[in-house]
Amino acid sequence: MTRGQFRTLHKWIFIFMGAIILAWCASGILMVLPMQWFGAAVDGVQPAIDYRNITLSPAEAAARLEQHTGTRLDVRRIQLQQIHEHLLYQINAEGHATGYIDALTGGYFEFTPDLAEQITRTAFDIDAPLAESTRLTEHDTSYPFGQLPVFRVRFADGTGSRYFVNESSARVSRSTALSRLRSAIVSLHTFEPVEYFTHSSKLRKNLLVLTGAITMLGAIIGYILALPGGRKHKQAAG
């Protein structure tokens, strides 16, 4: 391949890759800036609970869950977990959804929209009327990435803020219009929109590898063009 052909290939590679490189740089800068600058916030502070009040054993908790489900469970893991003012046994059984038994009362625990609202109000000191409290089990345009399930909570306060309550930890994150714009730009850094629209993690990763390879090729061609032979060739031609 002649130097002129190398130069043409180099030009077209970076005409194509220029927008992607700019997006990588912009999203990379936004990734390291504090989320608070964009109005986002996370609150995971839990109320104090006295663990000495636990009277239920793990075996008893598993038995209570079996009573609730009416099924013999093949329990694989039991762990203690706090969700807001509740101290729970989280029970994972083969072939069944994760179940929760209150370690203090022995009752079956279910994370409800009302509890999500209560946690959000407490975390961010909100007294505006409730507009929505919905459990999400799949990603959507309001919550395209992140752990599931979560509760999406909104209040009629005119701010446009959305709150997402993590069902497994009770952590609450606030999303504003500005933070959502930031998240959309940051998602370009790892091609997250590709996976969101195609539901294919493999395609997203392959595109990342391909894009990186094309960029490396363009850089290598640029170094080849910068070799001294290119300057000598120009002087001879002149």
The answer to whether the beta carbons of residues 93 and 76 sit under 8 Å apart is yes
Specify the pTM. Answer: 0.70
Which residue has 């005119």 as its token pair?
Answer: 158
**Which residues on neighbouring strands pair with residue 99, listed in sequence order?**
91
Which residue has 């933070």 as its token pair?
Answer: 179
How confident is the model at residue 131, as a pLDDT? 95
Task: Give the pLDDT band of residue 127 (cuts 50, 70, 90).
Answer: very high
Top-confidence residue, 3 or 83: 83
How confident is the model at residue 128, as a pLDDT? 95
Which has the closest alpha carbon to 111: 145, 131, 84, 79?
84
Give the best-scoring range by mean pLDDT among 22-36, 96-110, 215-229: 96-110
How confident is the model at residue 74, as a pLDDT? 92
Residue 82 has pLDDT above 70, yes or no: yes
How confident is the model at residue 229, as a pLDDT? 61
Residue 234 has pLDDT above 60, yes or no: no
Residue 76 has pLDDT above 90, yes or no: yes
Helix, strand, or coil (residue 133)? strand
How confident is the model at residue 226, as a pLDDT? 79
Q: Average per-residue pLDDT in the chain?
A: 86
How confident is the model at residue 190, as a pLDDT? 85
Total length of the chain: 238
| Six-digit token string for 35 | 């989320």
Top-confidence residue, 138 or 188: 138
How confident is the model at residue 162, as a pLDDT? 94
Q: For residues 202 and 99, give the distance between their C-alpha atoms in angstroms, rounded to a whole number.
A: 32
pLDDT digits (tens, 9 = 90+) for 15-39: 777 888 888 888 888 888 887 787 7
Which residue has 């990603």 as its token pair?
Answer: 139
pLDDT digits (tens, 9 = 90+) for 161-215: 999 999 888 889 999 888 888 888 888 888 888 888 888 889 989 988 988 888 8
Mean pLDDT of the 75-101 span: 91
